[in-house]
């Protein structure tokens, strides 16, 4: 899977994300632990390293008038259209924004200039259907730039929420925070890969951090808090973004990639030119078995420890393509559930 990272148009393979590159020339036990730790650190960075945003506005919130709950309308189409039309300078500014109490005049003006697109984004988040039509037949090399695009648009919404909060419009601020929450659900459900779930986690955390800031400046009234809380209560508290739902597609993607891979693979530090078909099929057998065992212990109280043991039991290095990231991934599910509970509690009357 490829997402946009850094520059707006830079794409890297999904399988190369998450600090998964190994410097070791073989996949010894230490190599697997290093790759696993790298993924965990990257996921924590994505989840916790949230860019801040703030702002002010004297504009009325018009997105509600364009709300469309029709199951026929596709939010994915709107997301693509809106991202393509947004000013790239605005996106970059919102990604880099750290000063929550204040907002530069230039950014205020840019948010206002993109006001209609932002309102359309709020409306799109309320649509029921979100299908990007992704072709997963290429395996882990599938291109999904929209996953990162939706992350950046969530940060634009975050900045605009502060704009409305500063303007004394708590309802407008809350609607933008709710849109971030809904986008997190859309992207996690529409693209059931680990990276998509991780971006969903980051967006949900962004909404939480933004809410804390707005509350600290007394920018959300009782009605705004209630609307936010009602939205959060719609989410499964045990697994906020259906993280377990990523397992089938991760397995399918790994199998396709193992069979089709040619040339040098940076993740595995391995030249697939010299990997026989028999070794590939053995790797696929171990991958299937490993993922089946991961799924079996997913809901166990000590799931993470058991998943680490499963990873360490692998004897075929290629089999670790997907299995190795499952323990740190599962760990983030518990963190996301805890954050969601705290988010809801913060909004109680």
Q: Residue 273 carries which DSSP code?
A: G
| Banded model confidence at residue 100, pLDDT cuts 50, 70, 90 | low
Q: Which whole-number Å values give the CA distances from 123 to 151, 209, 213, 216, 320, in the listed order?
A: 17, 22, 24, 27, 41
Convert 245-269 to b/e letters by CB count within 10 Å (16 or more is b): ebbebbbbbbbbbbeebeeebebbb
Going by C-alpha positions, the residue among 152, 214, 215 that lies closest to residue 183 is: 152
Q: Is the pLDDT of residue 300 over 90?
A: yes
* 194-216 per-position pLDDT tens digit: 989 999 999 999 999 999 999 99
Identify the pLDDT of residue 263: 87
Beta-carbon count within 10 A of 161 CB: 31
Whether the predicted pLDDT of 19 surpasses 90: no
Q: Give 1's pLDDT tier (boundaries 50, 70, 90).
A: low
Phi, psi values for residue 126, rounded to 5°: -90, -5
Model confidence pLDDT, tens digit, residues 43-84: 444 444 333 232 333 333 333 333 344 445 899 999 999 999
How many CB atoms neighbour CB 232 within 10 A? Answer: 22
Give Dmax over CA atoms of the chain in angstroms. 66
């Amino acid at each position: 899977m490829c997402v946009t990272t850094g520059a707006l148009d830079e794409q890297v393979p999904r399988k190369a994300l998450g600090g998964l590159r190994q410097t070791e020339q073989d996949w010894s036990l230490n190599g697997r632990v290093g790759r696993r730790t790298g993924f965990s650190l990257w996921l924590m960075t994505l989840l916790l390293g949230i860019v801040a945003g703030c702002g002010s506005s004297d504009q009325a919130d018009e997105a509600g008038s364009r709300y469309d709950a029709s199951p026929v309308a596709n939010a994915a189409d709107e997301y693509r259209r809106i991202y393509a039309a947004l000013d790239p300078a605005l996106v970059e500014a919102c990604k880099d924004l750290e000063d929550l109490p204040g907002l530069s005049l230039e950014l205020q003006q840019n948010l206002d200039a993109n006001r209609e697109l932002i309102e359309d984004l709020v409306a799109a988040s309320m649509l029921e259907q979100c299908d990007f039509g992704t072709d997963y037949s290429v395996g882990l090399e599938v291109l999904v730039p929209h996953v990162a695009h939706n992350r950046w648009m969530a940060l634009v919404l975050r900045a605009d929420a502060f704009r409305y909060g500063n303007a004394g419009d708590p309802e407008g601020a809350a609607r933008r925070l709710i849109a971030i929450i809904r986008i997190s659900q859309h992207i996690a459900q529409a693209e059931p890969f680990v990276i998509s779930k991780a971006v969903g986690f980051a967006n949900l955390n962004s909404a939480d951090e933004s809410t804390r800031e707005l509350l600290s400046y007394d920018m959300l009234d009782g009605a705004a808090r209630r609307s936010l809380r009602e939205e959060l209560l719609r989410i499964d508290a045990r697994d906020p973004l259906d993280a377990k739902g990523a397992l089938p597609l991760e397995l399918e993607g790994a199998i396709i990639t193992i069979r089709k891979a040619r040339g040098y693979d940076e993740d595995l530090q391995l030249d697939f030119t010299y990997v026989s078909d028999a070794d590939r099929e053995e790797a696929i057998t171990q991958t299937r078995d490993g993922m089946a065992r991961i799924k079996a212990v997913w809901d166990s109280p000590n799931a993470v420890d058991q998943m680490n043991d499963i990873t360490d039991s692998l004897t075929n290095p290629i089999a670790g393509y997907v299995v190795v990231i499952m323990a740190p991934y599962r760990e983030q599910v518990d963190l996301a559930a805890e954050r969601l509970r705290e988010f809801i509690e913060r909004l109680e009357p």
